[in-house]
Amino acid sequence: MNNDILTLVNSLREGTAGKTCMGTGNYSFDIITRREYPEGFVAGKRNKFEERILTMEIGNTCGNVMTMLPYLGVKTYPVAKLDMSPQGYRMKRDMKAYGADVRFVSNTRTGGTTILRCMHKLDDQGQPALSHKGSTGGKPWTGMSARPCRKYLSSKGGEVEALVASLDFTPDVFFFDIAQAGHRILAEQLREKGTMVYFEGDSDGHKLKDDKARKAAKRAFLRCVEASDVVKMSAELVQDLSFADDYPDKLFIQTMGAEGIRFKLRGGKWIKLDPIVNPDYKDYEGAGDWTSSTLIAALCAKGMLKVKDMTEQTVKEVLMMAQKIASYSVGFVGSKGMIHADETFKLQDDTLEMPHYTKKLMYLHGSASAGYSRTSMGILQYLPDDWQLLTPDCPVDAEECLKMLKDLCEKEKPDLIIGSSQGGYYAQMLRGYKRICVNPALDMSNDADVKVGSHQFVVNREDGVQKYVITPEIQDGYRRLEARQFEGITDADRELCYGLFGDKDTDYGHCKPVFAEHYNHIYTFPGGHKMEYDEIEKYLMPLVKKLV
């Protein structure tokens, strides 16, 4: 750890003792990977690569700020509505481990968790590049636009008012990073109590093509600006800053990448500060979040939590601190890489109090998929609150997978197993348990996903692995297991195992008569191979509740 940086961090910690920051906005589970080229790289050619996982932890703007600030001595209180997936709970544990108070972080069936894969690679010309790919509830999306699994604080139903009423303290700072009504209302109410509001302006909507939507986004953005004391924006996301002249009671900050940073205090002129360049650059992800975190910590340390108390000179000083730490942070991989490099900082206990469940279900996914998938999240949202859904990632090797599932069932003793496609293939072999096999793929050895060769998982798995390889030995294992899959079926088992088949399933609809030869309960629903949410609710869940 650089001694100058460590000295700066320690000085901030001394000044921030007892300071608090509440925050809400964008959270994600980040999987940071790097492509490596074992045979070298040739520009303009298709190059063989191997993908290596570097880190997996909580990230995105608010997620980073809420876990960076404790490192700088500020106690944080993140507000987040996550789901009950393994990644959702992992994010809450990460927050706690970094020192955040997680009393306002919930994991519920109606919450949301986004997984974001950040890949370091070389572009066609051999230059370093970073790409983003994510999935929400198992549904893949590319880029940074579609996030249907994000659940924000609601402006309706008294949710914000109830949160404010529950507070036994007034935070020194409130941070938010997206122009949602619920966030703005919370900002307004806390500001009335004396909290300094820091808005990380994510976008003013100027890139939206629809004129009506663009104007609505601009209005929402400006309302959030009005509710704030400090507004930080990047030149990439917010280009027109003429509106800043209309707010003489605020501190505006614009980051400009390689050109540095500039600020405008209480209606004054824009003042530019040169960048601090790190020649040992490795990863710029998180640099902007370190700028915000350090700025908040420095303002707390200097006791400048009112814009009226700030001077241009003191703002220059705290921004130079922020730039110094942000520049240092890019010398590490991962947004919080510099924290992990600091041997003096110890992660805290991340134990969570888990819900009490009265019933336990297990979902087995299809080929090239994962336990955290669109189907499992669809099932989860329709279960009673006291029912647990286990969602293991199935190993690629069929014989290894069946052994793992048998051991898991022996340990967990599920009240019901639901298997879809390949998961249905495995489920029907788990004798002695109640099972529902949805469009079971009973001749898996012929499936394209288990042909010899290299394949991609279609959604992110808990271990972050994205590729898998089917060897001839693994494929032979599928054939062996397939040949004996109906061995040992008892009369009791014929009653325990149910089949649910889509009448438009063109992938494995032919398995229905084979299944019917061995089991007594066959159901049909109007749908295809993969169940949609409305089909899960209408056809699968009634059968689940009947059996459990």
State the pLDDT at residue 136: 46
At the fourth CATH level, the homologous superfamily of domain 3-341 is Ribokinase (3.40.1190.20)
Secondary structure in 3-state letters for 383-426? CCCCEEEECCCCCCCHHHHHHHHHHHHHHHCCCEEEEECHHHHH
Please tell me the least confidently modeled range out of 135-139, 364-368, 457-461, 507-511: 135-139
Q: Are 64 and 52 in contact (CB under 8 A)?
A: no
Q: Is the pTM of this model over 0.75?
A: yes
Confidence check: pLDDT of 256 > 50: yes
Kindly give, in sequence order, each residue whose CB lies less than 8 Å from that of residue 67, ignoring residues fewer than 6 positions away.
Answer: 58, 76, 94, 95, 98, 99, 100, 336
In whole angstroms, give the CA distance from residue 230 to residue 200.
8
Enumerate the H helices of 448-540 as residue ranges.
472-483, 491-496, 512-516, 533-535
Residue for token digits 């600006």?
Answer: 225
Cα–Cα nearest to 489, from 500, 498, 497, 480: 497
What pLDDT does 149 receive?
A: 63
Q: Cα(158)–Cα(166) distance, rounded to whole angstroms?
A: 12
Highest-pLDDT range among 126-130, 234-238, 415-419, 532-536:
415-419
Q: What percent of the chain lies above the pLDDT cut of 70? A: 97
Measured CA distances, 78 to 65, 151, 455 (Å): 9, 14, 38
Q: What would the mean pLDDT of 224-250 be, rounded to a whole number?
A: 93
Q: Which amino acid is at 289?
A: D
Mean pLDDT of the region 517-535 = 96
- Mean pLDDT for 305-311 is 96
In the chain, what are the domain boundaries?
Answer: 3-341, 359-547
Residue 137 pLDDT: 43
Identity of the residue numbered 313: Q
Check pLDDT > 90 for residue 161. Answer: yes
Single-letter amino acid, residue 203: S
405 CA to centre of own chain: 27
Check residue 512 and give its pLDDT: 97
Query: What percent of the chain is modeled with pLDDT above 90?
Result: 72
Domain 359-547 homologous superfamily, CATH: Alpha/Beta hydrolase fold, catalytic domain (3.40.50.1820)
Q: DSSP assignment, residue 263?
A: E
Of the two residues 489 and 134, the one the predictor is more confident about is: 489
- First-to-last C-alpha distance (Å) of the chain: 55
Per-residue pLDDT, averaged over 115-123, amounts to 86
Q: How far apart (Å, rounded) are the C-alpha atoms in residues 72 and 15? A: 10
Q: How high is the mean pLDDT of the chain?
A: 91
pLDDT at 289 over 60: yes
Mean pLDDT lowest among 178-192, 373-387, 470-484: 373-387
Mean pLDDT for the stretch of residues 49-76: 93
- pLDDT value, residue 138: 42
Residue type at 112 in one-letter notation: G
3-state class (DSSP) for residue 408: helix
The dihedral through the CA atoms of 417, 420, 425, 428 has a sign that is positive
Residue 22: count other Cβ atoms within 10 Å of its Cβ: 26
